[in-house]
Structure 1
């Protein structure tokens, strides 16, 4: 009787170490931008020239210059200090919601893709129903019935983005379950849990990393949108979306109140997008691109 020996997974299906000098330029640029944003979020209180909520009643709506490098808002608060400290809230939206959505979506997607049949069909129909609701509307429905809070906003964003993550991971699992190393695990009599989490999951990481980068940027933007509508961070928080919303009242006389947090958000989103795309190319170009097409 012939016993199938478990072939090792194809080299190109495994995470690879890449020499620094051969890394895609997008990783270096995106990683640099993300590193700066993360350091600012950690050291924001130390870097800020003023407390983010300190009001200078005689210095309202001052243009950038002097002690106020980014100007002041209608309450005399230093815009630079608020942008620096606000990075912490925006990163919490993006990173926190991304991790939570992947914790929900990855197991669902792996299981649906591997099992197939009725399990896959029922789960996908439920996810399709959730994805048919516009994200902002779903966020409004989730948050409108409870008092706003940071953790509730993160949870709402995670619930909104988890179906998309699950569908993408499912497509990767569908492509991997026919591979020889998966069939070998089945021939050895390995359990479904072992096959899914020890064989398929390690080879799905490139696509999951790309998806994580997309979820972070989406979480930052959606969190800012919810704060803009008054359902995210509440005053006197320095969340970027809330700052843009508060700047509407004086946009004609003090546009810098909204411009600087908007630019900070733009740089952060570009950084995470470049980093995610670069990691995709470095880890496994073929698999990561296949799931996007």
Structure 2
């Protein structure tokens, strides 16, 4: 991960997609964790009011590289024909803090989030896991299905959402990209080996009692203390892996509400870095949950790959 001697470059979303496949993104995330980097060293993201919305500032350093993502959230933009969320990534050489690259931040986010989930699933799902259920029908639901298909040989992919038309459209896109997906229901969780929750839900999406022992559940959509995708019944009986314990206790409603209910002990939470280094193994006698909220180091890990030859 040494910084190359080159003039600062600008990388568009198309450039990022050309250089970084979902598999490469997963490998970059895993490499960062295997290198000894600890997510606990990441600075908390800053939320700053600006204009008619707010800015998110997400800085991080991994070895020879430092970077910051500046994301803007403007709720009124869709009415103007503009994206609600926009982002730019500034990649710097750590030693000199010289600019190495300016990278489209939205494409980094689209890649790194499912990549982190895939790193966790590759270690938490059974080796022969083949049945996937995804809650959601937006870009992250689609990209997560693609990422899951790259770490397990899937024989069944079901998408669950509130709009039948949007679910079918998402299934059609997945089929075009080589993943045979079809609409499903929350009851499909009972037979699933892997469940992915990619929604902005405020309340649990399904009855946690349906999840079989040994199954793997990813919750990456809701990331506010008062919102959650998983119920405390599931959280309380599972091995729970998070990106970082402190970050989870600040932002992850699934974790916070289960701890507050007295069914989950915060000291039992496992960091994803320990999972990647093999210090913790998947459970077969209870469910395995990965709860992600998104952290600054993940963007940096993938941004490094954009500029590497």
Same fold (TM over 0.5): no
More strand by share: 2
More helix by share: 1
Which of the pair has more CA radius of gyration?
Answer: 1
TM score, norm. by length of structure 2: 0.24
Structure of greater relative contact order (alpha carbons < 8 Å, 6+ residues apart): 1
